[in-house]
Chains A and B, each alone.
Chain A
Amino acid sequence: MADHAAHALEPNPTARAFCLTSAFWFAVATTAGLWAAGYLIAPDFMANIAYLQFGRLRPIHVNLVLFGFVTPGLLAAAFYYVPRLTRTELFSQRLGVLTAWLWNLTVTVGIVSLSLGFSQGREYAELVWPVDMLVVLVFALVGVNLIMTVHRRREPVLYVSIWYVFAAVVLTALTYALGNVIWRPDTGALLGIPDAILLWFYGHNIFGLLLTPLSLGVAYYVIPIVTRNPLYSHTLSLLGFWSLLVVYTHIGTHHLLQVPVPTWLKVVAIVDSIAMVIPVMAFLINIWYTARGKLGEIHADIAGKFIFTGTIWYFFVSIQGSVMALPQVQRITHFNNWTVGHAHIGVLGFAGMIALGGMYFILPKLSGKPLYSRFLADLQYWLVLIGITGFLVILTTVGLIQGNAWFNGETVYRVLPEIHLYYVLRLSAGLAILSGAYIGLYNMVRTLFFNPGVQA
């Protein structure tokens, strides 16, 4: 088994710090999510505690998952593989560790400010201006460290994973600054429809141009190593990369098809949403062909297992995303729990699974010892997988009930009792994910700090 094999020690405090950051905030984020799910079953739950109300917990959960769990997890892997793929050292470990501390400070200030009621009131862009500036700063610091590393590279040609990391960091710094309207610190917003358009450019790209490229970068690095197969086609991977850049940046307006935004913009958004099939299939064909005939080997390696499963979720979420952009489909699936299910399989099923896989890949190298417990890692895998599959089934079903009812003129309050049971089921699926998060945190901390395994 891999976990009993020797691992060379890789002193990389930056990757280590980002791993711990991700594992810790994953546990906190799922706790906040579970708490919020409680309100959907019993709206008076914790009724007198203002800073834990649903309206505050929901953005806390979303921002924690995005900036606390998934992004740092994927960055931890990037801080490991960028120096290796460029055959050089990370530009500055000190800067990397400082960035990780600042990252945690940013996340902490963000959730405290949200719980105190400081919010811009824009979905996915709730964080207030001072926190926005911290977010831009930490992305800039990550960018500087990685750009300088690549600048000092000894490998002249860049592997596709590095392209993806740079796209993620550079475009997110830009997306975040523009999407949060940072030139208007008092509101962090424009007015009316223009604000909606800008917000959804941001809202979609903060996932599509941050989590997606970072996740694909990890998969392109780990899957060939785990299978001991060369990448099926590096040219195809670059085709996927450039087509993602061309297509993904314009699709945010598919969130606004029922809104009076310019028709040409809606058309661009819909056409590009369908065109997303090109970069998605370029990636999936490449990875699945690389893994061809090695399904058993992938499942024997905990990192490969997480990441390969993430690619399957990527397939589902991308197909969903493309067809959801069609007005004919969206009139049933929009403004209800279908979209919530879609978001969960995208962020946790795809990017979250790959982040966990990336961390499990590098942890033995960072500690120089085998994983503390392969059993606990397997347990986390199944808990998260069962939880996220449950989310997909439950939320898709609820979404269709809601969409069908509203499409046929039924009122909201008459639908709510029908879907109450599904919210209870959703909470139970969330419990599986919560358990997985805490088990993963324990396993990762034990692997790094209290690991009785033999040093290589």
Chain B
Amino acid sequence: MYFPYFIAYMLAGFIISLAVLFWALRHGQFQDQERLRYLPLADRSHPSAIKAGRLNRLEGYLMLGLACAGLMCTAAVLFFTLWRWR
């Protein structure tokens, strides 16, 4: 008999989530969303944004290239998995 355990697990998560959602609704947690976008920026202890050097920009493009290459590899693997081994 396995149902009680994972039903209990799912129910516990569901009930806690629902309770928190109702609390959030009652306490205005979904209001003032525009102001919240700026909340982390109130942290003045961080040095002002760092001006990117040429090397940093190159590094960024290199990372972008790596990410695209990775994406293509993933797509190729999936294509072969779904097509080659039909």
Contact = CB atoms under 8 A, between A and B. Distances in A.
23 contacts: A81-B40, A158-B24, A160-B36, A174-B12, A194-B5, A198-B2, A198-B9, A230-B38, A230-B41, A234-B36, A245-B17, A249-B10, A250-B10, A296-B57, A297-B50, A300-B50, A300-B51, A316-B71, A320-B74, A333-B81, A361-B46, A400-B80, A400-B81
A242 B78 CA distance: 29
Contacts of B10: 249-250
Contact of B8 (A178, A226, A249, A312): A178
Interface of A: 1-2, 5-8, 10, 81, 84-85, 155-161, 166, 170-171, 174-175, 178, 190, 193-194, 197-198, 201, 220-222, 224-228, 230-235, 238, 242, 245-246, 249-250, 265, 294-301, 305, 308-309, 312, 315-316, 319-320, 323, 328-329, 331-333, 361, 365, 389, 392-393, 396, 400, 404, 407
B10 to A, nearest CB: 6
Chain A CB count within 10 A is highest, among B41, B53, B56, B81, for B81
B47 A5 contact: yes
Contacts of B43: 84, 225
B50 A242 contact: no
Interface of B: 1-2, 5-6, 8-10, 12-13, 16-17, 20-21, 24, 27-41, 43-53, 56-57, 59-61, 63-64, 66-67, 70-71, 73-74, 77-78, 80-82, 85
Nearest to B63: A309
A333 to B, nearest CB: 7
A396 B50 CA distance: 37
10 closest A-B pairs by beta carbon, nearest first, are A296-B52, A194-B2, A5-B47, A295-B60, A228-B49, A230-B37, A296-B57, A300-B50, A299-B56, A234-B36
Nearest to A296: B52
A309 B37 CA distance: 22
